[in-house]
Chain A
Amino acid sequence: MQTFAYESPTTLAEAVALLDAHGPDARLLAGGTDLVIRLRDGSARPGVVIDVKRIAELCPAIREHDGTVTIGATTVMTDVAANELLRRHFPALAEAAAVVGSVQIRNRATIAGNVCNASPAADTAPPLLVYGAVVVAVGLQGTRRIPISEFFVRSGVTTLERNELLVAMELPVPVSRTGAVHMRRTRRRGHDLASVTLCCSVDEKGMTRLAYGSVGPRPVLYVDESGVLADPAATDEAKAPIFERMFADASPSKRSMRASPEYRLAMLRVLGSRAVRTAIERLASLRSVEA
């Protein structure tokens, strides 16, 4: 591994100043499960590595205030998966965090790293899109709130400015009763990157939100407000055109070794309809629990 300068700021202002001073020569380090690999293989050669884990404002924490749940940037997947608040309000996000990598990876990988790395296969991206998460970014110009649907550009690229860093993720607690699920397809069970990663929610007003990743340069969200997908009695013929529109943005890479584009597109449809069904079932079971 090529050497670099290591900075471990303890305040946000210090971190922003470092980012501003070093520009593209700086890389932020959170869990390191992606960055350390790239430092070793030479695909990232920063002059400065800025470890964000000692910054108080980014600390691992999950709290609810006024209808919003806030997840600190350096919260690791293990804690996202186990957190009671998230499991109650955002179960599909907890499910997605629980299947990232292995225990060892989940103990290090952070929610901020998963989205800022902007891998098309990031498992937390589809649930964050479905739940309408907002990225809280801080830079020289102050604080900016970016809807997650405007955050991903392509692999490794987000709409964060050069001197901005992700401080927290905000999730609005659903106002309508909502059933949701995360599903993925991998080459093998256990520890693998997704060939398709997908999340679907259905609420009691009939809105279906479905987001999918690993089938194009960035994860995509599609919202169906017609009520057709959410209707357990709707026929496959009625649902087919909506699924077609929903999956029209999928464009899997031909170069990926994980799965062929044909396989990914086929599995996207299978998982998509399965996820809609499961979300409807979960919504129904919520209704029966509360009835």
Chain B
Amino acid sequence: MDNTLPIEITVNGRRRALDVAVHHTLLDVIREDLELTGTKECCLVGECGACTVMVNGRIVDSCLMLAVEADGAEIVTVEGLAQNGQLNPLQQAFLDKGAVQCGFCIPGQLIAAQALLAENPHPSVDEIHEGLAGNLCRCAGYVQITEAVLSVAEGEHQGEHR
């Protein structure tokens, strides 16, 4: 038995109509069906944040959401951050501050940071720590990650890389 249902989602601005298995998570569909492998699979229990994507403007662990639940939703993955081949300010800041070590957690970190800045454009260091508390970095690059987010919040990277 392999139940499927049709869903329609918008991923990084592009509308997609798919038949998904009801027991597949949004993460499964993003990686396997849409072949957008920037979003990472890791702990599968909602602790590490590697699978973070934005659903209707809010970040979620895509490993804890069934794909069928996303029917009608607007989704942004890490592939949706760069525009016209240009990294967005946050991505550039992560590179400039050396926030990317092994890189595995970075897609999730970027999406979480993007959501944080959208809601709170000038967060304090504590607010950045809280906003990214659901994203673990095994390389322990937290200092550089925080610096990168802060530099965008303070305008260091605004507009330079547009």
Stretch at the interface among B30-38, B45-53, B90-98: B45-53
Stretch at the interface among B11-19, B20-28, B143-151, B154-162: B20-28
Q: Which residue of A lies closest to B111 (CB)?
A: A104
Contact check, A104 vs B112: say whether CB atoms are below 8 A apart: yes
Shortest A191–chain B CB gap in Å is 5
Within 8 A of A (CB), among B113-139: 115-116, 129-131, 133-135
Place the interface of chain A in its size category.
20 to 34
Contact check, B64 vs A103: say whether CB atoms are below 8 A apart: no
Q: For the complex, would chain B's binding face be called helix, strand, loop or mixed by DSSP majority?
A: mixed
Q: Mark A176-195 against chain B: 1 for CB-CB distance below 8 A, else 0.
A: 00000000000001110000
Contact check, A102 vs B5: say whether CB atoms are below 8 A apart: no
Contact check, B60 vs A108: say whether CB atoms are below 8 A apart: yes
Contact check, A102 vs B66: say whether CB atoms are below 8 A apart: no
Q: Which residue of B lies closest to A105 (CB)?
A: B46
Shortest A192–chain B CB gap in Å is 9
Number of residues from B at the complex interface, CB < 8 A: 34
Contact check, A102 vs B49: say whether CB atoms are below 8 A apart: yes
- Indicate if A53 sits at the interface (CB-CB under 8 A): yes
Shortest B28–chain A CB gap in Å is 9
Ranked nearest first, the 6 interchain pairs of A and B with the lowest CB-CB distance are A102-B134, A190-B133, A6-B22, A107-B58, A3-B23, A1-B23
Besides the contacts A104-B49, A105-B134, A107-B60, what 5 more A-B pairs have beta carbons closer than 8 Å? A1-B23, A101-B134, A103-B130, A104-B134, A190-B134
User: Which B residues have a C-beta under 8 Å from some C-beta of A?
Assistant: 1-3, 5, 21-25, 44-47, 49, 52, 58-61, 63-66, 68-69, 112, 115-116, 129-131, 133-135
User: Which A residues have a C-beta under 8 Å from some C-beta of B?
Assistant: 1-6, 8, 29, 32-33, 36-37, 39-40, 49, 51, 53, 78, 101-105, 107-108, 189-191
